[in-house]
Structure formats: structure tokens, C-alpha cells
Structure 1
């Protein structure tokens, strides 16, 4: 018996050894690959991936292994990994046509158009009738704006395969490019007949219907998408936006409530509902909030988020109810402490400093590391004007790894208080590196880029922020405005639809929609929307201006005049209407009518400073003499003695009339009442610097010192010129040289630089700069203070 057992073991071992020897790594890999393919076809993707990975580890010789791994990546939308796997598949098996097709399509997505063409041509070399390869070529040609070549391929494919969905999609895109929307819709509808659930086609159809302003079709399109994809919340949001834009508020609310009911206690859909009610039915926000407090009793984290929204949206008193509930439930746990911090923040806004100090002491004694409490401490220090102490404290907080974006943002605010703009901008950008959706930091950085005309940089920050906060009003408005500026109408339209759902300013989405229509040349439709806005908000200046521009584009200025005259009769006290009407009268060179409408307006609104400013301009134009404006400014200041605009205009006029002492007197009076008026500081400093009195030059120098670190080139030039006039020529010269790099075409800067070089003994450079200042002045057809002196210096040097 013992020998039999041993014998069986030996035989079994021999069999196993023989089997192992026969199964090579390649055969093992092929076996696992086959199993992986079979599992993939059955939809068992996780198991398939395990088999495919085992296959690649057994033998890295089969391109098909990586092809199927790429197909699994495609299922998971992991396109970067998919691309790498396809490249590897073709390295191992260059003849894999399906891999080439997949890679070619991915190359288009990644923007590598030439590589996509290479893949297509490679397939067509061995299979000249391959439709997928032809479609890749057509898609590339469309991207390269070679529309005729693309159309030729599409037509050829559709001739043999009239139901080819990809070809029909490209045909629709080509029609849309030519603004042949009806034909584009025909092609899309035909393609949808073949593939009714094709998401990209359905979205494209909605976009085309929106372009035709066919709202009923857009609504139907979203309704069908919701039926096909019931769990996709974005489609419901989009449909709710359309309902909101078309005043179908009940339908919009019904959809949002459905999302809340299906949210499984997620707070986001409830916040969306709040945003909608806040924009469209403000009186229902508080009752809704109280109902949600009852619904979420015993859920402190949900209560905390809802209450935070209430406080941030201007319902602080009501929001306290939820915060106090959270404190009762959580005591001194994380959520409870967070609620206590928000209650203390409310006290800070109400300037209850002793309450804030007491709360901070209690909270920090429990958890000294709580970042929200430390941030509040920083804000408290700033509120008490302890800026340096706040900066020191916040710089220490930076090392805490939580909510560091808020720390950087608050640091930026602190540096702005100290007028250190460079350090402030650096802090705001650091905040956005941590959290692109930090709205306080975003507002600062984004607006700076837009003002500087650096739209690409602005868009990068905007898109990162929107990826995290897609329903934020500030971000949606910024995107719509930027898209309109850059004529990206589809993107603007999407943002406007979302804005219609959430914007508390009901005028904003309508105004932006009118902007889009105006930009696309649909002036009559734009006028209709601007009129709708003006009827609700008669003093909406931008709508008035754009309505006139739209009439002008249609060659109907007389209609614009008639519209404004009628509106003025209906709303005689609306100053913006008068301003736009007077501008259009001036454009017609009808100064008599302009003067009459402005003079009559002063009978209705005798203290309207803007009317005096406009009337002064008209008097100067009618009399062809700027001194005619003086009496108007003086009359305006009699009834508006503290108006800085009128005073600044009068001072500037005195400068033009060479009445320097009067100008100095008025600028000083402005600064007595408005000591932070930088323009008045600059203009007064400039006048004093040009004086022959050493005492006045010194006073001008003292004033100009505030511009030492200014970002305004004109103000910095004033400071540089003050340095030169005060005897600090080397420092002034260095500053001017840096300014010229930023503003090379300003004759005043060139003149000042020429004088600085002359003082430094750089005669040749001085001559060059002075000549450039005069040349630039003549090219630009404008004089500058110092031009005569520049000519005089050149004559003296050259003679």
C-alpha cells in the first residue's frame, strides 16, 4: 500500500512537470488573452482586466492584449491610458487596424492632427475603402479648416453608406459652419433615426435648435435626454434653466424638487433649489429653509451646509437657527465648533467685537488648530486695523495644511490694505494654486488679467474655477462675458442658460442673451430683448447704449432717436436716457436739440452733476471754445459744492486755459474733501513739480511719493519726474527706463527720459529721446506739456 501511494505521487509529479514544460509563456499569455476577450464580450470588465494584465505579464508580445486594455480604458473614460495602450499595441502588432482607427480618433481629441492623419493613411494604404479611416481624415480637415476636402470625403461616404452616423454628424457640422441650420438639423435627425440614443448627436441638435431660438424644440430635446439618461442631473439642470429663462417657473421648480427627492440626503441639490428660489421667489427662501431644518433633524453636517448658505446669501438671522441646532447636536465636535465660528463671524459683521473676542477665546481653548477659528482671528485683527499683526499671524498660519487657500486670500486682502499690490497679487495666486474656486482670490486675479487684455490667462483661471463650482453666479457671468467678448457664442449661451436659473439679478441673463444676438448680427431680436429690459429697468445704461448700436447697425438711427425721445417723455427723471439721447443728438451734429434736452433736464433734476458735465461739453462744441464750459461747471458746483467730478473737470479746464493757480486751488479743495483721490493727487503733484518754486516742487515730490509702487504708469511717471525735478536724477532715470519698456509710445515719458539723460550727461541719448517725444506727439496729433521745452533744448544742443 505504501509503495502504491509513493508511486501515485511520482506519477502525478511527472504529469505536472510535463504540463508545465509544454505550456510556454506565449501560450499562457494567449490563453489569458482569450479569456480576457471572452470576459470583455460578456461585460465582466474587472475580471477581463485581471486576465489581460496576467497575459501581459506572461508574455509582452501580443498587441491585442493592449488593444483590449485600451478598450477597457475607453469604458472608464481614461483616455490618456487608452492612448498609451494603443501605442503599445501597435508597437507590438503594427497591422492592428482597429487600434490604428481608435488611436487616430484619440489623436484628434488630443489635438495631434498630423498623427491622426498618419494613422488614417496607414489604414487606407492596405484598405482603401475603410470608412472609419476616411472619417478620421474628414474630421482632421474640418479641424484644419479645409472644409471643401472634408465635404468631398463626407459626400463620397454618404453616397455608398447614406445611414453612416459619423458621416452624417460631420455633414451636419459642415452645414452648421456655413450657417445652414435647417440642412444641419436634417442631417442630425437622419443620424438620430439610426442611433436614437447617441448623446453627442442629441446635444448637437439642442445646440442647433437654440441657435434658431426654437425654444420648444430645445425643451423637447432635454426632455428626451432625461428619459434616456434619468440619472444625469446636468440635463435636468439645463432644462430647468430653459424653463426659468422662458418664465416657466413652476416647471423649473418641479424638476429641481425631483432632484432633491432623489438626492438621498445629498446637500448639493437642496442648495441648487435654494439658489433658484433666491433668484425667483425670494419670499419663499426662509420657509423652505425651515422645512429643511425639520427634514434634516439629527443630520448636523447637512444642517451646517444649509445654514452656511443662508448666512452667505444674506439670511444671517434665520441661518442662526440651524447653526444653533448644530451646536446643540455636536457640542464641541468639529461640526459644532464650525457652527460656533460662523456665529462669531456674524457677530463680527455686526461689529460686536467683545462677543467675537469671547467666542474666539472659547473655541481656540478647545481646538487651537481649528483653521476656521484662526481665519476669523485674522479677520478680527484686520477689522481692528491691526494690519501688521494680522499679516504676521496669517504668515504663520500658512504652514497649516488645511484651508490654506483662505489664508492666502486673507493675506492678499491684508496686503491690499497696506497698498502692497505685488505681494497681494502673489498671495491671491497662491490661494488659487491650492483652490482654483476660491472666489475672493479669483475675483482679484481674473479681473486684473481681463483689464490687461490677457484673456487667455483669465480663461485658464476661469475654467479651473468653473470645474469646481459650475453653478456659481460670478463664474457663470464672467464666462458668458468673456465668451461674448471672444465671439464664442455657444459657450456664452450655455452659461446664460445656467445663469437664468440662479441669478438674483433677473436682468443679467436677458442682457447677456441680447449681447449674444447683437454679436451674431441678429439686431432686430437683440433690440426686442433690450426693449424688454428697458421697460422693466428704464435706467439700464448698457441696454440703452446697445439698443442704439443695434439700430445703428440696421441703419435706423432715426428709430433709435424716436425710441429714446418717447422713453424720455415717459421717464423724465431717468438721467441715463438723457445722456444717451444727448450723445445721439451730438452724433447728428444737432447741438441745439442737445442743449435743449440737457437744459430742460436740469429743471427736473437740478442737482444732476452728470447733466452739467454733458452741458459743458456741448457749450464748448457749439462755441468752438473750451472756455465756454467754465460757467457751466461753476453753476454745477454752486448746487453740488462737494461733487468731485465737477471739481476735477473744472480744474482740468483751468489747466487747459493755462490758469495754473486756479487749477491748483481746485485740486487742493478736492483733496481736502477726498484725500485718497489719486487722480487729484497726480494732477496737483504734476502742477507743483512744474513750478519754478523750490518749495512747491518739494510739496509736489511729497504728494508723488504715494505712487512709488503704483501699477499705474502715468502715476509712476509723475513720481519719476518729481525725482528728477527734486535733484534725484539717477533714481528718476532708472524708473523712467523701466517705464519706457512698458509704455514706449507716450511722448511725455520720452520727454522726461530725455531730460533725465541730459542731466546725466548722456547727450546723444537725450537728443534721441527728445526727438522721439516730438515725433510721437506729431504722429498721434496731440500736444503734451513740455513739447515746447523739448524743442528748445534740442535747438540749444544742436546750435
Structure 2
């Protein structure tokens, strides 16, 4: 029956009559009701129920900014900063006069590094209320981060004059003193805050930070003990204190804290694994017995046993882990947990190249569940091992649609595309793996490393922070963070991470070395030298420790002390080439060529097959005699003992090239390739010689040699291929590749020269002139010649001469 307008009105009236006792409210009334309830529940501390009410208000077309403000407060409780920021922005769109929302948004803007936005929030509040202390302190917080300490100080002092007990003002003042390296005044202010607000967590953490910066370990320990007492449920404080104990070699105390955590957090696999990681780093001989004890204690908890056994496999205890995995299989049979254990056992067989065992296990597992993702991933790995890359990629692309273990699927796809030398698709898949799981180790190593190598540290840091949020105790992530913080001179951040590394690093030299880096960065050179010395006692040839030790001595004005130290170190370890290398560099820096030659010749007498020593000695002979030919005899002597050594042959061939004896260089490269046809550098260098000749047969031969470099990641190899195309008459294709290379490497004169000739051969004389001039200018600026410089000058003269005809 068609519904008329009158019918609809009657139905509405009846509906209101039916619900009259419980109310027939408008959406606006319903929203208000939900908001009031949500607000009351929030103030009572019933946050989950408050969230549901506020969410309902939000969905009921609520136009109150206050609703979003309280949603933001709930986000703050849950430490969900991104959502908090969005809710605050929405709150202010609806109600611009919400002062508290502006102040909170300003503080978040500071966290995100949007200092100008934070200042805008402060100014907006001050426009409405010029006496707002919160807005003034927000401005001061921004000024500190903008290194405008005097302006920040002026604001803070004004607030403290009116209210000397304002905790936020005291905190900012303490930060100013800390930045000015007046740690004692900063500490006094922080202690005043704690006196007034005993449970002020930021102040207590800042106090620990100040004491750590002053290397006051006892006070740092006491600070963490107090935090543990105040916040007994926060396990991170116990981990931090355990890290300090580990750094100071109080391993019994560290272990006691970790065991206390295990006892308190019953059946928490993470706390069990943290204990195993600690033992693996500090008492390796006890790992197996501890694991076996856990197997007995949790013998009926299959999922927990599986996670512990996976850790044992990943930590190089595969044979021991078998016991736990078999225990899981007995408990779970062909359930998902049981199949996961069976798959790990099969993966171990793959690692041992027991391919028949793997095939048999896969048949059994996939027979029980053909869609079991881990087994299908293992099948793809087996295909890759069997060089069936296309089959592996086809299988993995099918697995993507299952959306299970997506990170492992994408990561393995990335590895497969690396095998096919398709870096673009490999990178795309590695990034997708990290979107699914930021802590996927294989994908992280590839992506983080590529961004770091490209100098994109901020992007690299974003990936690192996400990985640590998922796995905060993973040693590799922690070491990467410490190294990145050190690289960017974030000494306090690095210090905090080094403490955590000390707890879990299997190699005790790693945290010592990183801590020495921090001391060196903070100009605490005496402390740094002491730690570098400790590293070198256990690892005499640790190159970076020797280099940094020498730099620390030099910073103290005592390079001679570095020489004395390393000479004594060399006497204890006379055969260590790394020590010889560092000492040689110090002698060269002092222009003490006699000592440099002596230490190298003595080393060669003891170890005549030391190729690196011959190469270093050849360099010194060339410097001393101011003649490259002086290196020739050293290379020839080296070849008598190290016959056909590729490094010495390459160095000698390079020498022949520099003195323009191209025939001798060509013969050496040809001999090298006859014995090692896969030597890419020899391939490239020989091809360059052939292509630079004006013989068509040689040019074509050279081009054939480097055709395999068409898609190489090495820009120099690609340049040789592109130059070969140009010289062989295929200027358009060579030009296209050279233009892309110059975009990547704009400051290499060789590339500019080749691009200039390519443009000339294509009839683009104006562009050719520009590129050739840039090649020469770059060469002169960098004070180095390049092959083709004379030809570039000659070509410019030819173009100029033809233009003036």
C-alpha cells in the first residue's frame, strides 16, 4: 500500500505516543544526554563507559566542541596522541573559544615539531586572555625548542615572580638551565617540583636524566627505585633499572629484577623472553637450562611454549628448541598452533639443506590445511632455494589475498625480487611488509638501510620508531637507534638507549663502545678513552675504537699520547693489521714517513702475504718520492709473494692508467678477467679503456663487456655502459641514461663530460657547451682531473671555432 504524507504523520504520532514515557528526543537532545553522561563518567574515572557515551554523542550529530575535547582527554589517557590531535582540531573548529583545548593542542603541536602552530595557539589564547599563564608557558616551551632561551627565560621569570610555585614554570626553567649546562640549578628546581608534587612523573624522569648526564649512577639507581615504589605496575621502570645494573656489572641485581617481573606477570611470554634475552647476553651457559625449566613449568600452555621455542630458534638454539616444538605438536596435533610448530621444524630442516625432509613435512602440513599460511611461505622459500624464483613469486602473489601474515609474504616477495635484481619492486614489497608489521626484521633492514644510505635520516627514524614501538627490546633496533641518535648528536636520547642495549646485547663490547661514543660527543674525553680502552682489551683490532680513542686524545691536545698508547697496543698485538693501519695514518698525519714505512715493512717481513700492507706502503712511496711510479716496485714485490692477487693487480693497472700506459693496463685487466670473469670492477675498467679508444672494434668490444651493467645499481658502471652507447653511435639511448645519472650524481665531472658529448652528437650544441663547461668547472673546483678533460676543452674550442665561421 502506498504511504501517504498523512499516514506518515499518523505513524510518527503513534511512535511518539508509544515512547512518551521514555522520551521522544531530537538528535540534538540525544547527543546532549550522551555527552552529559560521558562527562560524568569521565570525571568518575570510568573511562571505557565514558568513551561509549561520548562516541554515541558524536554519532548523534553533536555540534559541541566540548564532546570532542573530552574524546581527546580519553585519547590522552590511552596515549593515542594522533587521535587526540584530530579530536582537539575538531573541537576548536566547532568551538574556537575552548581555551583548554587550544593549550593542549599547542603542546601536541610541539611534540610534532609544528612550533609555529603551537605559537598560533598560544597567541589565540592570549588574545582572549592576556594574563593566561598556560599560554605564556606554551610560548616559553616553543622558544626553548627554537633555541630562544632568553625569551623563554623572560616569560618564565615573569610567571614565577607572580607564582613562585607554578610547577610548569619551574619545569621549563629547569629545562633552560639544563640546556645552558647548569645541571646543579636544573636539579634543584626539579627537586622543588617533586617536593610539591611527589608523583610528578616527568619531573622524576628529568631528575634521572640530569643525574645520568652527570654520570651520577647511584642517584640514577635511587631514582628508578623510587619510581618502582611509586608505580609498581609499570614494568618499564624495572627494565630501566635492570639496564643500569647491567651497565655497572651488577648482573645479580639485574637478574633479580627481571625474575621479579616474571613472578608478577604470570604467564606473560614477553617477560619470560626478556629474561631469556638477558641470560643469552650475560650468562649464555644458563639459557638452555632456563628454557627447559620453562618447558616443564608451562607444559600445558601450547601457545606460550611455541613463542618460547620460536625465540630459541631465532637465537641460535635450534636443536634445543626441537624439544619444545615437539611438545607443542603432541599437545595440539593439527590445530593452527600444532601446524605452526611443525612448520618451524620443517624450516629448520630447510636451513640444514634437508630438502627431502622439507618436502615431506610440507605434504603433511598442507594436507591437513592447504591454506596454512606459514607452510605456504615455507614452500615459497623452498622454491627460491631451488632457483624457481618465478614460481615462488606466483605463489606469494596468491598468498597476498589471504591477508594472513601479510608482512612475511611481502618481505619474502621483496627478497624474491632482489634475486631477480628488480630493486624497485623489492623496495615496494619491503615497505608494504612494514606497513603490516613495522618490526618485520628482513624488511626493516632493507628499508631502513636504504634511507640511511641516501641521507634521509628523518624518514629512517620514522621507520625505526615504529619498529621499536612494536618490539622495544629488540637489540638490532636499539643499536640502530643509539647509532642514529649519536649521528645526530642527540646525546641524552642515545644515553637512554645505550642502557637498554646493555641489558640485551650478547656482545658486551657493543654497549661499551656506544657509551664511549656518547661520552666523546659530550666532550667527556677522559671517560671515553677509558671505555675505548676496555673495548680494545677484549677486541684489540676494533678499528673504530682505535680511531675514536685517537680523536679523543687529540681533542685533549695529546695526539702524542694516542701514538704512545697505540704503539704499546701494537707491541702486544704485532700481527694485527688494523692497529698497523691506524698507527700508519697517525704517522702520516705527523708527516713522519720514516716511521710509517718502518711499521709497514716490519709487518710485511712478519706477514709477507699481507696485501693491504703492500697497498699502503705503495701509497707512502708515491708520497715520499712525489712520483706515482715509485709505487710500481712495491706492487711488483707484492705480486712476487701474492701471485695474481686481484687487489694488487687492480692497483697496478690503475697506476698504469694514471701514467697513460694504457696498453699495460689493458693487459693486466685482460689477465685478471681470464682468471676471474665475474670481477665487475676489472670488467668496467677494461671496458672504459676500450670505449675511450677511437677504434670501432674496441668500442664495440667494450660495450659488450658492460652491457650487463645496463640496470646496475652502481652509477659508475651504468655511466660506462651509457658512454659505450654514445661512442658506438647510439647517442639517443646513451643520452637518456646519462641524463638520469646526472640527476642522481650532479657533481661528477666524468658524467657531465659524457653527457656533453652525447648532446653534441645529438645536435644539441648549446646544451653540450653548458655540460662540457660544467664538467671542467667541477674538475677544477674539486682539484682533480678526469679522463676526457683535454678532449672536453678541445671540443669546446671546436664548437666556438665553428660558431665564429
TM-score, shorter chain, exceeding 0.5: yes
**Structure 1: gaps spanning 5 or more residues:** 1-12
The CA deviation at 1:261 is 1.5
Q: Does 1:359 align with 2:361?
A: yes
The CA deviation at 1:199 is 0.7
Q: Deviations over 1:34-88 (max 9, x none)?
A: 7766655544455666777888999968776666565555444455665666667
Question: Match for 2:249 among 241, 247, 267?
Answer: 247
Matched with 1:10 is none
Matched with 1:626 is 628
In 2, Cα distance between the equivalents of 1:763 and 1:220?
75
Matched with 1:202 is 204
Structure 2 matches for 1:626-775, cutoff 5 A? 626-641=628-643, 643-775=645-777
> 1:755/1:128 Cα in 2 relative to 1: closer, same or farther (>3 Å)?
closer
Question: Match for 2:284 among 282, 290, 304?
Answer: 282
In 1, Cα distance between the equivalents of 2:474 and 2:643?
42
Q: Which moved more, 1:742-751 or 1:27-36?
A: 27-36
Matched with 1:311 is 313
Matched with 2:377 is 375
3-state SS of 1:445 partner: helix
In 2, Cα distance between the equivalents of 1:311 and 1:327?
16
Matched with 2:294 is 292
3-state SS of 1:606 partner: coil
In 2, Cα distance between the equivalents of 1:309 and 1:396?
29
3-state SS of 1:751 partner: helix
Q: Which moved more, 1:47-56 or 1:164-173?
A: 47-56
Question: Match for 1:157 among 159, 165, 169?
Answer: 159
Structure 2 matches for 1:485-500, cutoff 5 A? 485-500=487-502
Matched with 1:533 is 535
In 2, Cα distance between the equivalents of 1:721 and 1:414?
31
Matched with 2:447 is 445
Question: Match for 2:226 among 224, 227, 247?
Answer: 224
Q: Does 1:301 align with 2:303?
A: yes
Q: Does 1:586 align with 2:588?
A: yes
Structure 2 matches for 1:507-522, cutoff 5 A? 507-522=509-524
Matched with 2:507 is 505
Q: Does 1:788 align with 2:793?
A: no
The CA deviation at 1:367 is 1.3
Structure 2 matches for 1:323-472, cutoff 5 A? 323-472=325-474
The CA deviation at 1:545 is 0.7
Structure 2 matches for 1:36-55, cutoff 5 A? 40-45=42-47
TM-score (norm 1): 0.91
3-state SS of 1:733 partner: helix
The CA deviation at 1:662 is 2.6
**Structure 2: gaps spanning 5 or more residues:** 1-15
> 1:71/1:690 Cα in 2 relative to 1: closer, same or farther (>3 Å)?
closer
In 1, Cα distance between the equivalents of 2:96 and 2:559?
67
Give the paired residue count: 785
The CA deviation at 1:185 is 0.6
The CA deviation at 1:18 is 12
Matched with 2:13 is none
In 1, Cα distance between the equivalents of 2:87 and 2:772?
65
In 1, Cα distance between the equivalents of 2:479 and 2:34?
54
The CA deviation at 1:137 is 3.0
Matched with 2:213 is 211
Q: Which moved more, 1:219-228 or 1:71-80?
A: 71-80
> 1:296/1:676 Cα in 2 relative to 1: closer, same or farther (>3 Å)?
farther
The CA deviation at 1:622 is 1.3
In 1, Cα distance between the equivalents of 2:790 and 2:145?
57
In 2, Cα distance between the equivalents of 1:361 and 1:468?
34
> 1:44/1:709 Cα in 2 relative to 1: closer, same or farther (>3 Å)?
closer
Question: Match for 1:170 among 169, 172, 186?
Answer: 172
Q: Deviations over 1:367-413 (max 9, x none)?
A: 11111111111111121222233223323322221112222222222
Q: Which moved more, 1:411-420 or 1:30-39?
A: 30-39
Q: Which moved more, 1:519-528 or 1:656-665?
A: 656-665
Matched with 2:617 is 615
3-state SS of 2:629 partner: helix
Structure 2 matches for 1:54-133, cutoff 5 A? 71-78=73-80, 98=100, 101-102=103-104, 104-106=106-108, 108-109=110-111, 113=115, 116-117=118-119, 120-121=122-123, 129-133=131-135
In 1, Cα distance between the equivalents of 2:613 and 2:481?
35
> 1:435/1:50 Cα in 2 relative to 1: closer, same or farther (>3 Å)?
closer
Q: Does 1:268 align with 2:270?
A: yes
- Pairwise CA RMSD: 3.0
Question: Match for 2:181 among 179, 182, 187?
Answer: 179
Q: Deviations over 1:246-305 (max 9, x none)?
A: 111111111111111222212111111111111111111111111111111111111111
> 1:439/1:39 Cα in 2 relative to 1: closer, same or farther (>3 Å)?
closer
The CA deviation at 1:726 is 2.4
The CA deviation at 1:483 is 1.2
In 1, Cα distance between the equivalents of 2:60 and 2:667?
91
In 2, Cα distance between the equivalents of 1:483 and 1:93?
41
3-state SS of 2:506 partner: coil
In 1, Cα distance between the equivalents of 2:434 and 2:20?
63
TM-score (norm 2): 0.91
3-state SS of 1:744 partner: coil
3-state SS of 1:626 partner: coil
In 2, Cα distance between the equivalents of 1:457 and 1:520?
26
Conservation of the 8 A alpha-carbon contact between 2:32 and 2:62:
no
> 1:621/1:329 Cα in 2 relative to 1: closer, same or farther (>3 Å)?
same
In 1, Cα distance between the equivalents of 2:564 and 2:645?
33
The CA deviation at 1:557 is 1.0
> 1:135/1:390 Cα in 2 relative to 1: closer, same or farther (>3 Å)?
same
The CA deviation at 1:620 is 1.1
